[in-house]
Amino acid sequence: MSSEKHFYISRNYKFSKNAASKPKMDCETVLEKNGFKNLGFKQSNHPSSALGAVISFFGITKGLLLLPRKSVFCMQYPLSKFFGYITNIVSLKKCTLVIIIHDVKFLMGKSTNLKGEVAKFNKADFIIVHNESMKKWFQENGCSAQLVTLELFDYIHASDKHAMVSNPFNVVFAGGLGKEKSEFLYSMDNLKPSNYKLKLYGNGFNEADVEQTNSIIDYQGVFSPDEVIDEIEGSFGLIWNGNALNECSGDFGKYLLYNNPHKTSLYLLCGLPVIVWKKAAIAKFIEKEQIGITLNSLDELDDALANLDPKAYATMISNVEKVKSKVASGHYLSQAIKKVVELV
């Protein structure tokens, strides 16, 4: 099928210090690279929600009017305000609908309406899901679309960052540092590790809850998704959520059983091997590519680093370099999109 028939509609992505819009903006870049044409307005980043919604509405309306019948249309999910509007017109025009999943609200604990969300997914002909665990969940919950896995989110940014060996190791944690998502951080000092320190990047840091003397925690500040790459210095990146050290608990922790955290890609782009909970969906990828360490509990981390052979660490670093160049060039979504286009 020729790419004259492949379309998407860009919209306004509110620019913020947290990385919420970055994956969606990157997906559009990769769609363009793969011959998809934007029918809406140019991608914009107005900080005002009200203005952004107006721009998005008119851009989407323009795009839907221009959308040719029986073409292939790709959209990203979630898109709460406009989801029904877009999918109804795409269906009226008998187009093939492809959805790229960023987050599943039910799995995040942000919605209890499983049936309603699956009904939305069932408007699609093809869905690009994060990984095999998420694919299985979609199948078990009655999703009728054809499912293609992504494996890893891309993070489009030129980077010549590399991991820095230090003694003790510097373990980087980037993301929301508030109690809701990352309460475990505030009990890391209780582990009294001697082989690593924690460097935190993000918003919501609660300084009062950290021992003021000889804490292993070193707060670095909050940066935009592009700035943070230049700021991060460390030997590993940590992926962990929830309030417990011995598992990833709570809604955010459980979500790791299914999702590909975008920060995985951020760490790899910075040249950092990844430390992650063994049960997380992304752990299989980390193990397969040999780009990090998987743990049942954070109290295993000190020993794991103490016993880390310098050769093994060097191998991880060179494996990270291979994956990093793929992440930076949009390889993973390109692969998934090509597969969908073949199936269409």
Does 2 score more than 60 pLDDT?
A: no
Domains and CATH numbers, the chain: 3-149 (3.40.50.2000), 169-327 (3.40.50.2000)
Predicted confidence at residue 276, as pLDDT, reads 98
Does 1 score more than 50 pLDDT?
A: no
Characterize the bridge pairing of strands 274-277 and 292-295. parallel
In 95-208, beta strands by DSSP E: 96-101, 126-129, 146-149, 169-174, 196-201
pTM comes to: 0.96
Name the more confident of 278 and 2: 278
Does 56 score more than 50 pLDDT?
A: yes
pLDDT digits over 4-54, tens only? 799 999 999 987 666 678 999 999 999 999 999 999 999 999 888 899 999
Mean pLDDT of the chain: 95
**Residues 141/94/62/99 CA torsion (nearest 10 deg):** 30
Name the more confident of 270 and 211: 270
Mean pLDDT computed over 160-180 = 95
The pair of structure tokens assigned to 225 is: 């998704």
| Residue whose token pair is 């987050």 | 103
Mean pLDDT computed over 324-328 = 97
Are the CB atoms for 167 and 146 separated by under 8 Å? no
Are the CB atoms for 66 and 39 separated by under 8 Å? yes
Mean pLDDT computed over 222-245 = 94
pLDDT digits over 171-213, tens only? 999 999 999 899 999 999 999 999 999 999 999 999 999 988 8
Non-local CB neighbours of 203 within 8 Å, separated by 6+ positions: 17, 18, 176, 177, 178, 222
Mean pLDDT computed over 129-144 = 98
CB atoms within 10 A of CB 94: 9
Over its C-alpha atoms, the chain yields an Rg (Å, rounded) of 21
Does 227 score more than 60 pLDDT?
A: yes
**Residues 157/161/167/172 CA torsion (nearest 10 deg):** -10
CA–CA separation, 45 vs 222, rounded Å? 19
CA–CA separation, 114 vs 129, rounded Å? 17
Are the CB atoms for 267 and 146 separated by under 8 Å? no
Percent share of the chain, pLDDT over 90:
91
78: closest CA among 107, 102, 56?
Answer: 102
Does 307 score more than 50 pLDDT?
A: yes
Name the more confident of 159 and 282: 282
> DSSP state, 170?
E
Mean pLDDT computed over 72-96 = 96
Predicted confidence at residue 196, as pLDDT, reads 98
Predicted confidence at residue 14, as pLDDT, reads 85
Predicted confidence at residue 301, as pLDDT, reads 98
Between the CA of residue 240 and those of 71, 208, 212, 274, 342, what are the distances in Å? Answer: 41, 21, 23, 11, 36
Are the CB atoms for 297 and 246 separated by under 8 Å? yes
Helices (H), the chain: 22-33, 49-66, 83-92, 105-108, 114-121, 132-140, 179-182, 227-231, 250-255, 262-269, 283-289, 301-306, 310-329, 331-343
175: closest CA among 235, 110, 220?
Answer: 220
